[in-house]
Structure 1
Amino acid sequence: MSWAKDLSMGAKFAVTGGREGWARVLLTAVGVGLGVALLLLTAAVPNILASRDDREDARLDLTYSGVDTAKADNTLLVANLDTTYREKDVRGRAMEPEGARAPLPPGVTEFPGQGEMVISPALDRLLKSDSGSLLRERLPYRTVGTIGESGLIGSHELFFIMGAEGLAPLVDGSRVARIDKFGNTDRPPAEPWDPVLILLILVIFVVLLMPVGVFIAAAVRFGGERRDRRLAALRLVGADSGMTRRIAAGEALAGAVLGLVFGAGFFMLGRQVAGSVELLGVSVFPSYLDPSPVLALLVAVAVPAAAVAVTLLAMRGVVIEPLGVVRTVRPPRRRLWWRLLLPLGGLALLYPMIGQGRDNGDFNQYMVSGGVILLLVGITALLPWVVEAVVARLGSGSVSWQLAVRRLQLSSGTAARMVNGIAVAVAGAIALQMLFAGTSAAYTETTPTGADTADVQMTVQLPHGVPLADADRQLAKTRGVRDTTAFASVELGDRRMEPELYASLTVADCATLRELAKVSSCRDGDVFAAVGAEYDTDTPKMSEPGRTVYLDPSYPDSIKGKEVALTIPQGIKKAGIRPDPFGSERGGILATPGALTEEAAAALRSEIYLRLDKSVPDVEEYVRNTMAEINPLTRDSQWFMSSTDSQRYDSIRTGLFIGATCVLGLIGASLLVSQLEQLRERRRLLSALVAFGTRRRTLSLSVLWQTAVPVGIGLLLAAAVGLTLGTVLLKMTDTPVAVDWMSVLSMTGMGALVVLVVTLLSLPPLIRMMRPEGLRTE
């Protein structure tokens, strides 16, 4: 009962303490609110991921199994028209209903007709803007509607659906498909999660949330010195030491509860803002940001409880007597031994998993989380001792330096608390950077094409039925295209169904064949056998004169192929192997157009290599516009890169960047609030120093030194702990340890930059506090 009474009395003191009391409570509430908002955002992450996946599944239209659906009154033909515009993905679909009961795509109330399209709001804005002029040429259709939220996975997604006719002959299951519903369930089962990826996710969550917890713990201690002087007055009227601690906890509890309200407000504001922001190519709708009720309740209970616990723990080192607070004299030196137990305990939890890698089962989630938490919390325990040990040895200097050093010597704990959050964030970022750099090779599929990107930059794939020669001429006339190489190809088999022997058939004119292989004499109607290419073992048998081979053979559980028969001529010639423009060796059967029947030519898949003039701005967009004129189903590939990241790995990395951006913003805001609270507590002292003749420039420099010294110490400690944690994590994944020192310097530099910006933002209020009015009292 006494606990409740004392806590309520402390809460009453917090909100009835006049202007000073409200200023202190509001600072605490803003600080706690920022942390609570980010915690609520984190609690909404599972729902964000689930909502995006549900939307993607609900609009799934192209089949994965390759099984064709029979035409009926309820079927719909869908063609993939995805494209890219200035590095942004544009999702596109052409749709042709085959009956009155054809399923409507999510977010659409009516099918667009031929020459019409419905588009997402983001695409509508882009097409109406000056920057969308080239895309308007690619999509010259009349807009008749907008795709609703249920058909989009993000507020900034670029998506169009156009009406089409004559798609039936092009059905192949991948580019064009016939469906009777959206949300097909024939997607292949998801692969089990790699233990290393699970480890990455665990470490990311711990690293991103730890600075939030550290800052909330610091925020509830705002105004501690003034509070302790009021508590001394309570001792004078009869309160015992236990009662004063409970009253202090009540004050912190009031600020924390108000912080929950502020946090909910910040979260709702951020929730609305999130719908208008795109970060690293990812956007969401406000409706996605619904925190899990269980996690939201946990935040609502844990934050006030943490405020009370932190205050009681902090009060253990303060002796409040009726005539004053003993903390105003030099405190006793901090002990080191128990502070070392935290990081050592963290290493002890992680040590049993060293060398486990991805082949020896999952990492113990509790041991990983506990070990990383103890290591990072160890920074908050070690930093006050390190700051105290360093500032005690700092010597004389300028007046601003002496003012800063003396202040740090008297209150090194306050300075360390201010830096704790950024030190924890930097240490975690360094460890994660090492872990990502060390494991990236395992999740990057490298394609050693050997392509000379200075020679060939794009490949265009034409759909069936598009004349290769006509498309080649159109692309060759496109602005920025220097040269083209056009050919067609198809797979050959020794049987119509389930062949045992394979080879490729490449068809082109003689000039192109000479680029692809070593061909001597050549005229239209010739056929060549290119034997000896890497991975090509069946061409010698498949190229025997008189042998019957089949173009585009069929396989079980797939859409039926063309299965066109072709007889190898008696006069087949030999061709030598040479690297093609992509650097790969092209083997198999090479033929000129005159050697094929019309039926065989219809089974070919046509490609065109493009050499571009990269000095022409938006040259790729001009090429894509020409492709859309040739046929909307035309696809392109770029050859600037030869590696592809694992989708899960890439998603985790994107999530890390987004989370780190939010945490960095929180750290900056929290440091600014902490700095303002420190200045507010010392405004009378600052005004007195100015009144005695101290220059404002000197005081401004002293504030900068007071921030820079503990930040520098904190960043050095963070780098040491981050490198240690990163090394242990790499050893756990059985990955060679390597340190990217530029990344380490960039992480610490970002931390220092945040502090510099915060210090500059705090100068205007500092100058206001130096006015003589600051000496006024009641």
Structure 2
Amino acid sequence: MNLRRWAGDLAMGMRFAFAGGREGWTRALLTAVGVGLGVALLLLTTAIPNALAARDDRGNARFDLLYGSTNTGVAKSDRSLLLVNVDTTFRDKEVRGRELEQEGSKAPLPPGLTEFPAKGEMVVSPALKKLLESSDGALLRERLPDKVTGTIGESGLIGSQELAFYRGGEGLAPQLGEGRVARIDRFGDPNPTTEKTDPVLLLLILVVFVALLMPVAVFIAAAVRFGGERRDKRLAALRLVGSDGRMTRRIAAGEALAGALLGLVLGTVFFLIGRQIAGSVEVFRISVFPSYLNPSPALALLVAVAVPAAAVLVTLFALRGVVIEPLGVVRTARPARRRLWWRLLLPLGGLAMLYPMLGQGRDEGEFNQYLVIGGVMLLLVGVTALLPWVVETVVARLGSGPVAWQLAVRRLQLSSGTAARLVNGVAVAVAGAIALQMLFAGVDSDYTKDTGYDLTRAQMQVSVPKDVELAGAAEKFRHTEGVRNAYAYADGYLGDRPLDPEFGASVTVGDCEALRQRADLPSCRDGDVFAVLNSEYDPETARLNKAGSTLYLDPSTTDDTPTRPVPWKVPADVLTAEAREGLTGYKEGGFLFTPKALPDAAARTLRGQVYISLDPEVRDAREHARNTAAAVARLAEPMDWSATEQSERFASIRTGLFVGAVCVLVLIGASLLVSQLEQLRDRKKLLSALVAFGTRRRTLSLSVLWQTAIPIALGLLLASVVGLTLGAVLLRMTATPVRVDWPSLLSMTGAGAAVVLVVTLLSLPPLLRLMRPDGLRTE
């Protein structure tokens, strides 16, 4: 191979692309736009690992040791800081909050702050400031009445749209060690740990990346073939002036290379624009700063090399069966039938690579990453190989019908390959999405557990500090808009000895209505005490329920406790009750006290909880309840109840899939629109001729719709088969029963069809402009 000859021919093709007049520029621009959209998404994908790492680094830098333990072992000093977690939620959006109290002049300053806020002041993130100043944030403003004195810098936030605040506090020391208050002398995690990734989650990550990137690669490969028919006619002129077949093909590859290189430039521009836009949006509650989206240099270099190389190889491959002669291009003759056998080798090879991991599950080590990536890629590439054969085979058997149908079918019979390329990317995206949805649905139960909460009786829980009068707090909740009822409980523990008790039981204090939510009481009046004896979680209540014996509320495990246990003598009139499933889903035992039966000194030993029943008809019932909680106690802790809770890592992977799917769908739509416009441009004279001979515009418009609908229907059918097959194999690999997630299957195919329908409708206005008799005029 003569490299100099290759370089010269490729350079000549690039000159033809840019110096070939309007025709050459138009084709190069269309190719560049299609390639550029794909390159932008590839660059975005290569930047995702850096963005995730940047978010983790920011999170570690502001880590305040509140999670896992409230006793950090830090002594009071000139460098110590008291802080408390005051996170809240506003209309399903998490709001990160911290209340700070300096204990010395050298107390550590949180990242993103220039000075500590004073009591009654707070520093907020730009997104939270915008929300508080808007009419939508009126209810949140009631909950956060402190004066805003500044904004948190980028170094203190993990995302541009994060809602966060720091506010000044005082008098936090007495509550140290109770709940969320802690003392620290630094921010940042000194010993960050990397949790071993679950093999199934690792498999999900690998499949997500492959399934999202494959449609991009398919679209780039299709984009470099824009204007293929017109280009081949120009190549015939080169044969006429003396170039041989191989030289002509290399010149054609040079034209594609020019479009690909221009596409790299446009893709970089698109990426930079998209990076700036990414800093102002939030997708599935995930936001980033533009500075996070920096592609890895090695991966960016790989994209810069792979895209032009793919343009050359795809063009040479596409021209392998085209005879370019001095008098024309032999493409319109009846082509040879496509062979099926080698197309089946791709998906069969993919299945063969995945087969050794069937039944492995998460107990036999990690899945082989190379086999997973290679197997999934071959299966998805198999869609692009099989679809042209399927389209050709089916349209060859389509019969007569209305004029629009006949025009569409005849066009498909003449150029089924072009029609297949149009929907290849959609089919690959849908196949990957179906497989992923099956896998997610299959393993969802492994990462989602039932909370046990009885959402029919309560939907929120509020922890009330010990220094707040519980009955008064419950009454305020009952008078809150959107609250149906509030059940107040003071919970504690008693034992048979004041120090290191051998036997113990739980203590619950509440009024009769609240106690009936935990046990079936024979009767109830203020002053009664009940012993619940039939709970499987509290077997020692019967042993302790002996009249005249002395028990101790809040027994200690150390001798240096600042408070002393409160003695209580078991009365003779203790009633027995049958446990019932409580609000939290458990049958709890222990002793139930009405308020008058509790010794006065024992109130300080109990923790208050209020369980709230909300009116679903009131839109902001939860916000009103949270505002009441903030008014009851500055450090009250509201908590929403849900029927299930999901693994954070599993949820983040699923969120990543949704974010990526949105980006891929946007790319699909944009690329399809460019491809559709390119095809209409190629057929401008044909459409004008049909209109000049009296063909109705409605007929031509319907024929264009049929030309899109038939390939997309076949593509979605093939994608469903491949997606179901891949999904079943992945489920078998994770040792999960195979089950078809029909709603996801229908939604994925529906989304693919909707994208094509929208693109077709957007292409109708240009189509109507092209259908004019004056389109036959030649300059």
Match of 2:72 in 1: 67
Match of 1:30 in 2: 33
Shift, 1:70, TM fit: 1.1
What secondary structure, in the 3-state scheme, does the structure 1 residue paired with 2:577 have? strand
> Is 563-572 or 613-622 further displaced after alignment?
563-572
What secondary structure, in the 3-state scheme, does the structure 2 residue paired with 1:105 have? coil
Q: Is the 8 A contact 1:62 1:173 kept in 2?
A: no
Match of 2:159 in 1: 154
What secondary structure, in the 3-state scheme, does the structure 2 residue paired with 1:203 have? helix
Mark the CA change 1:485 to 1:418 in structure 2 (over 3 Å): closer, same or farther: same
Tell me how far apart the structure 2 counterparts of residues 40 and 173 of structure 1 sit (CA, whole Å). 48
Deviations 1:517-547 (A, max 9, x none): 2444656555432222122223333445535
The answer on 1:426 being equivalent to 2:427 is no
The answer on 1:243 being equivalent to 2:247 is yes
Aligned ranges 1:276-675 → 2 under 5 Å: 276-449=280-453, 451=454, 453-492=455-494, 501-520=503-522, 526-544=528-546, 546-549=549-552, 551=554, 553=556, 564-571=565-572, 573-579=574-580, 580-639=582-641, 641-675=642-676
Shift, 1:598, TM fit: 4.8
Q: Is the 8 A contact 1:476 1:483 kept in 2?
A: yes
Mark the CA change 1:502 to 1:375 in structure 2 (over 3 Å): closer, same or farther: farther
Q: Is the 8 A contact 2:226 2:675 kept in 1?
A: yes
Mark the CA change 1:597 to 1:256 in structure 2 (over 3 Å): closer, same or farther: same
Tell me how far apart the structure 2 counterparts of residues 378 and 164 of structure 1 sit (CA, whole Å). 62
Match of 1:218 in 2: 222
Q: Is the 8 A contact 1:672 1:758 kept in 2?
A: yes
Match of 1:762 in 2: 763
Among residues 43, 47, 52, which one is paired with 2:46 in the alignment?
43
Shift, 1:463, TM fit: 1.7
Deviations 1:239-272 (A, max 9, x none): 1111111111111111111100000000000000
Among residues 160, 168, 174, which one is paired with 2:173 in the alignment?
168
Match of 2:732 in 1: 731
> Is 717-726 or 765-774 further displaced after alignment?
765-774
What secondary structure, in the 3-state scheme, does the structure 1 residue paired with 2:331 have? helix
- 1:671 is aligned with what amino acid? L
Mark the CA change 1:158 to 1:500 in structure 2 (over 3 Å): closer, same or farther: farther
Tell me how far apart the structure 2 counterparts of residues 448 and 510 of structure 1 sit (CA, whole Å). 23
What secondary structure, in the 3-state scheme, does the structure 2 residue paired with 1:239 have? coil
Shift, 1:691, TM fit: 1.3
Tell me how far apart the structure 2 counterparts of residues 20 and 562 of structure 1 sit (CA, whole Å). 89
The answer on 1:268 being equivalent to 2:272 is yes
Q: Is the 8 A contact 1:491 1:553 kept in 2?
A: no
Tell me how far apart the structure 1 counterparts of residues 463 and 606 of structure 2 sit (CA, whole Å). 11
- 1:150 is aligned with what amino acid? S
Q: Is the 8 A contact 1:456 1:582 kept in 2?
A: no
Tell me how far apart the structure 2 counterparts of residues 169 and 540 of structure 1 sit (CA, whole Å). 36
Shift, 1:186, TM fit: 6.0
What secondary structure, in the 3-state scheme, does the structure 2 residue paired with 1:253 have? helix
What secondary structure, in the 3-state scheme, does the structure 2 residue paired with 1:328 have? coil
Deviations 1:672-730 (A, max 9, x none): 01101101111111111111111111111111111111111111010011111111111
Tell me how far apart the structure 1 counterparts of residues 96 and 186 of structure 2 sit (CA, whole Å). 19
Q: Is the 8 A contact 2:430 2:716 kept in 1?
A: yes
Tell me how far apart the structure 1 counterparts of residues 555 and 351 of structure 2 sit (CA, whole Å). 58
Match of 1:17 in 2: 20
Aligned ranges 1:6-155 → 2 under 5 Å: 6-63=9-66, 64-65=68-69, 66-155=71-160
Tell me how far apart the structure 1 counterparts of residues 499 and 297 of structure 2 sit (CA, whole Å). 55
Tell me how far apart the structure 1 counterparts of residues 111 and 690 of structure 2 sit (CA, whole Å). 68
Mark the CA change 1:491 to 1:303 in structure 2 (over 3 Å): closer, same or farther: farther
Q: Is the 8 A contact 2:533 2:579 kept in 1?
A: no
What secondary structure, in the 3-state scheme, does the structure 2 residue paired with 1:536 have? coil
The answer on 1:774 being equivalent to 2:775 is yes
Q: Is the 8 A contact 2:72 2:183 kept in 1?
A: no
Quote the sequence identity (%). 65
Q: Is the 8 A contact 1:493 1:553 kept in 2?
A: no
Mark the CA change 1:75 to 1:705 in structure 2 (over 3 Å): closer, same or farther: same
TM-score after normalising by structure 1: 0.96
Deviations 1:308-332 (A, max 9, x none): 1111111111111111111121111
What secondary structure, in the 3-state scheme, does the structure 2 residue paired with 1:571 have? coil
Shift, 1:440, TM fit: 0.2
Mark the CA change 1:234 to 1:434 in structure 2 (over 3 Å): closer, same or farther: same
Among residues 254, 258, 268, which one is paired with 2:258 in the alignment?
254
Pairwise CA RMSD: 2.0
Tell me how far apart the structure 2 counterparts of residues 220 and 496 of structure 1 sit (CA, whole Å). 82
- 2:169 is aligned with what amino acid? A
Tell me how far apart the structure 1 counterparts of residues 760 and 555 of structure 2 sit (CA, whole Å). 68
TM-score after normalising by structure 2: 0.96
Tell me how far apart the structure 2 counterparts of residues 608 and 115 of structure 1 sit (CA, whole Å). 27
Tell me how far apart the structure 2 counterparts of residues 713 and 465 of structure 1 sit (CA, whole Å). 69
> Is 398-407 or 657-666 further displaced after alignment?
398-407
Tell me how far apart the structure 2 counterparts of residues 471 and 694 of structure 1 sit (CA, whole Å). 78
Deviations 1:205-235 (A, max 9, x none): 0000000000000000111111111111111
Deviations 1:549-596 (A, max 9, x none): 45164599xx97966353442536242223234553221122334454
What secondary structure, in the 3-state scheme, does the structure 2 residue paired with 1:461 have? strand
Shift, 1:659, TM fit: 0.3
Q: Is the 8 A contact 1:543 1:568 kept in 2?
A: no
Shift, 1:759, TM fit: 0.3
Mark the CA change 1:115 to 1:418 in structure 2 (over 3 Å): closer, same or farther: same
Mark the CA change 1:596 to 1:70 in structure 2 (over 3 Å): closer, same or farther: farther
Q: Is the 8 A contact 1:32 1:256 kept in 2?
A: yes
What secondary structure, in the 3-state scheme, does the structure 1 residue paired with 2:605 have? coil
- 1:384 is aligned with what amino acid? P
Match of 2:754 in 1: 753
Tell me how far apart the structure 2 counterparts of residues 206 and 555 of structure 1 sit (CA, whole Å). 57
Structure 1 residues without counterparts, runs of 5 or longer: none
Tell me how far apart the structure 2 counterparts of residues 511 and 562 of structure 1 sit (CA, whole Å). 31
Tell me how far apart the structure 2 counterparts of residues 233 and 653 of structure 1 sit (CA, whole Å). 54
Tell me how far apart the structure 2 counterparts of residues 426 and 487 of structure 1 sit (CA, whole Å). 52
Tell me how far apart the structure 2 counterparts of residues 491 and 677 of structure 1 sit (CA, whole Å). 76
Match of 2:231 in 1: 227
> Is 352-361 or 605-614 further displaced after alignment?
605-614
Tell me how far apart the structure 1 counterparts of residues 302 and 707 of structure 2 sit (CA, whole Å). 36
Tell me how far apart the structure 2 counterparts of residues 161 and 256 of structure 1 sit (CA, whole Å). 50
The answer on 1:678 being equivalent to 2:679 is yes
Mark the CA change 1:769 to 1:494 in structure 2 (over 3 Å): closer, same or farther: farther
Shift, 1:282, TM fit: 1.0
Q: Is the 8 A contact 2:433 2:748 kept in 1?
A: yes
Shift, 1:306, TM fit: 0.8
Tell me how far apart the structure 2 counterparts of residues 643 and 680 of structure 1 sit (CA, whole Å). 54
Tell me how far apart the structure 2 counterparts of residues 193 and 500 of structure 1 sit (CA, whole Å). 41
Tell me how far apart the structure 2 counterparts of residues 19 and 32 of structure 1 sit (CA, whole Å). 20
Structure 2 residues without counterparts, runs of 5 or longer: none
